[in-house]
Structure 1
Amino acid sequence: MKWNWLVFLAAVAVEAGPFKGSQWSYHESVGIPRSEQLKKLELAANSTRIVGGTPVPLGRHPFMVGLVIHLNYVDWYTSMCGASLLTHTRSLTAAHCWDDARMFTLVFGSQTLHTGGLRIDSDDVEVHPDWNPDNLHNDVAIIRHDWVQFNNVISPIILPTEDANNDFLGMWAVAMGYGRISDTNPNPANPELREANLQVISNEECVQRYPNNVVSSTLCTLAPVGINTCVGDSGGPLVAGSGPDRVQIGIVSFVVWGCEDGFPHGFARITSFLPWILSRQ
């Protein structure tokens, strides 16, 4: 069976578990190819996607941040991830997005990754001290960046400080990203940001699929066959609620291959990392 990191990840053939840790590079297997595909599509239109989702109008998710990733070992290709805006100078992403990276270009207020929007470079990234690339535990990182002015298409997401003990079980939430939109078609005609509705499931159900990866700080979701996060969505937010009361409850971390098969997907559970995140805002 093939498994992959999301970010929403690359496929490696294994028997005992979904990941090979440091032996496997997210960027080479997933981020770089997907980033290059998006760049070509955006330029042609002069301008790991959500599978089975819908395009997002500009401003619907003003906290969404695209990440163009500049790598340590190659200058002519970039990788990609997602992130979420927390404050004027802080954004949140997955730790594995920073592996082998030397700089992020953060993209605010844009439906596309390589063109448009406000673009800010940053190499000031703090990865959670207990991040483990072998099992994806504690897949969280803070990005410090230059001041971002809020407006109708750029504004922060709320963290669930008033729901710190809520497991959100059974709740429907929205994930978003620039990743692939199909298992079978790696080159979609539309390179824009997309979203999908996913339902939070119990860790007891999720651990049956990911026995080595699901812990108390993991949040899992399930969606109908044909709808889910996918390759290129890593680091992006999972958001619950509606209107001004929306809160971020997860960070896209890992997924089974393929994205359209109806398997659970894994997120870093925001409530498990609230003290660490809040102390760095």
Structure 2
Amino acid sequence: MATFVDGPVRVTVPATSANLGPGFDSLGLALSLRDELTAEVIGSGLEVEVTGAGAEDVPRDESHLVVRAMRAAFDLMGAQPPGLRLTCANVIPHARGLGSSSAAIVAGVTLARGLVAGGSLLADDQALFRLAARMEGHPDNVAPAFFGGFTISGCDEDHEFFAVSAAVDPRVQAVAFVPPSSVSTEVARGLLPAEVPHADAAAAAGRSALLVAALAGQPEQLLRATRDYLHQQYRRPAMPDSLDLVDLLRADGVAALVSGAGPTVLAFTDAAGAEALRARCPRGWVGHLLDIETTGARLT
């Protein structure tokens, strides 16, 4: 029978950007905005405290996404605690295309494993990653949130999720332009067609392959490599201001794209151009100058 560790366990988990233009549902990148969460086993009940992003909207009961992820991981390890106390200090904006739900799920499964003595023997990294991906429904944000860095992920024919890490040139930085209004993933996905032209699919495959090389060591190719054919224009009705900003930046040679399901706009840059690019943040939006986060979820 599993036992629990004494005292609280703390985890930090990064924001993520999925798709990165052409890599729909497959490419993801961890970014240097990190939520911080603390959990401990208590005698009974559930206590949830939330501050920061989304604090006014998220539940404080068993339906809280972090709690649900913890319960799933405890089930995987065969160990449900008598009670839980959870504290969340949220930095990642909610419903903005920066992976807040994946961060919550990854934080939850990581906290649960940290609370179980010998948890790594009961659930290794691959088991936790697959559990998190099943909860999220797709792995493109979960993979970089869990492993850090730049990841290529997907699902095999046998419904087994996988993720592979790839290199990122240290010169690459990013600016995230976060608008004041949200767009749900369900709405954004609902705008996508069931089929796309073969030529568009072929072009997207080529740009995705180029993006892997561009991020690894040829950042001068990022503008060409981030050209999307599969999803962004279809989503314009839900986020016209975001797509207008993408068009404006790309017309000026900036590798800009919709982050995940949007409406955040992510633009690649380097140290020399970072501040000038952030200065182009539209009024009422928030501009974040971000590094590529090489570390995923980690216990502290």
TM-score by length of 1: 0.26
Q: Which has the larger radius of gyration?
A: 2
* Greater helix share, structure number: 2
TM-score by length of 2: 0.25
